[in-house]
Chains A and B, each alone.
Chain A
Amino acid sequence: MNENLIGTIILLLYFSPLFYQLSLVIKERKKGNKIPLKKFLKFMKYSFIVLIPIIIGFAVLSHTNYLDYEKPLTFDKYDQITFKNFRGLEFFKKSLYGNESFAYVVTSIDSEIEDNSVTLQSLFHPSRSFVYKKNTDSKELLTHEKYHIKITELFARKAKERISNLNRFEKSEIEGIISDAKNKENEFQKDYDYNTFHSYVLSEQKRYEKEVDSLLNLLSQYKQPKIQFNEKN
């Protein structure tokens, strides 16, 4: 059934007592009877008091599934990640370009700047990542999604390389480097999805895999999340 239709029917059913009260208000208004109006306002108040927390609850769960929460995973757990870790809920999107077998991954670059050190690491958010079916055996889909995680790690390492090359500890400059890395990562992720068309173009997928793996290897010395600035810096 059409999702809009289901939503409309649920809302209509939910607000049906309110509509009934509204019809009473309109009818009794001519007679000067204000009791139905008060009753209507009371119904409206309670209807929204109940509805708003439900909507907020849906929005929160849609963003992060706290009902099946798993804390963000760092890149050293990369090899252990399977679709079982994709714990997010998706209430609205039912397909991607008509394909119901879809998944998406949420990653981020987490940073912490202290007095003379910077901690920078890529994170995979299991409870915000979604797969249409947890027991799917689609290796191609999993590989595609996991390379999103590798891309985030790549840009975290690139940022760490630039920060390590700074002559001295300069907080604003470090913040600029991190922000730049996040923007470039975002662009790269979009290009990756566009060029591989979400793994449909296998030759492009393989090209990206080689490129990302090769760059990650080149930056393997920046695996560690923490960069310590000594006095020389």
Chain B
Amino acid sequence: MKKTRFLLFALLCVILTNCKTEKHEFPLDKRYWDINDYEKVVLELNYGYEDDEKLPTFDNPETRIIVEKLTDQQNFNIVLNDNELGLNHRNQVAEKFFNEWNDMNKIYDATDRKDQYLYDKELLAVWHFGLGLQLKYFKLGNDQIIENADDPNSARVLNNVNSNISTLIKNYLIYLDEINKEKAFTEEGKTKIAEGINKYFHELINLYPEANYSGMKNKAELMLKKSESDEIKSSLTKLIELINSKEPITTP
């Protein structure tokens, strides 16, 4: 009996000293999150929260830092923009970030019974993270194709490069699909959609001014007719104008 009591007491001590106060842990004191951090954090955010548990949001001062760190583009820029690092290494890192971003898209995509996004600002921040990342990822991929080619001007190499740019443009079009669901967003969310078009789509077109944007222009025109948000309409109009300005002038 004495021994049992003692063992129970010892066990209680062990349990008490190992009780964790924080249910979810994130490396918030770390200046840059690397791929290993993203793997852990994205896993935690995707599967570590209970169904009715609130995820980190920009509105919550206690958890704001988590979503800010998660969507901080410096995390990949610090590696992908570092010219001291090898092109191959940066490409590998970019690919891993891209794969993580695919998983990140699932974190904030929940909707309520009225089909409203529960976390629209966070969802769009993740989208913007991905749009910024893809600009770097595809650029690095093409740089590597050109660097490794015997003849960088050969038709095969140019084909590969152009094919990658087409894929990038197609990936960007998926963002415009969000306008189809604009009713699921709050007004603040709609503003963020427009900001994303103004920033990242303009960066894309300025980076590859000679690419074929006919599909994007067509989609933007359709969305312009469909959208009810003035801010989104304005951003689409600017996008169409930018595409038009880059189109070669044809003479009869």
Contacts and interface: CB of A to CB of B under 8 A. Distances in A.
Interface of A: 2, 4-5, 8-9, 12, 16, 19-20, 23, 97-98, 194, 197, 200-203, 205-206
Nearest to A198: B31
Contact of A19 (B9, B29, B36, B83): B9
Contacts of A205: 84
B155 interface: no
B82 A201 contact: yes
14 contacts: A2-B18, A8-B13, A16-B10, A19-B6, A20-B6, A23-B2, A23-B6, A97-B29, A197-B31, A197-B78, A203-B83, A203-B84, A203-B85, A206-B84
B27 interface: yes
A98 B36 contact: yes
Interface residues of B, number: 23
Interface of B: 2, 5-6, 9-10, 13-14, 17-18, 27, 29-32, 34, 36-37, 40, 78, 82-85
Contact of A200 (B14, B18, B34): B34
Given A194-B31, A200-B32, A12 B85 contact: no
Contacts of B85: 202-203
Contacts, number: 50
A8 B9 contact: no
Contact of A202 (B32, B37, B82): B82
Given A4-B17, A98-B40, 16 more contacts: A5-B18, A8-B17, A9-B14, A12-B10, A19-B6, A23-B2, A23-B6, A97-B27, A98-B27, A197-B31, A202-B82, A202-B84, A203-B82, A203-B83, A203-B84, A203-B85
Contacts of B14: 5, 8-9, 12
Contacts of B17: 4-5, 8
Nearest to A206: B84
Contacts of B6: 16, 19-20, 23
Contacts of B40: 98
Nearest to A98: B27
Nearest to B14: A8
Contact of B30 (A8, A20, A98): A98
Contacts of A23: 2, 5-6
Contact of B37 (A2, A4, A98, A197): A98
A200 B27 CA distance: 16
Nearest to A27: B2
A194 B40 CA distance: 23
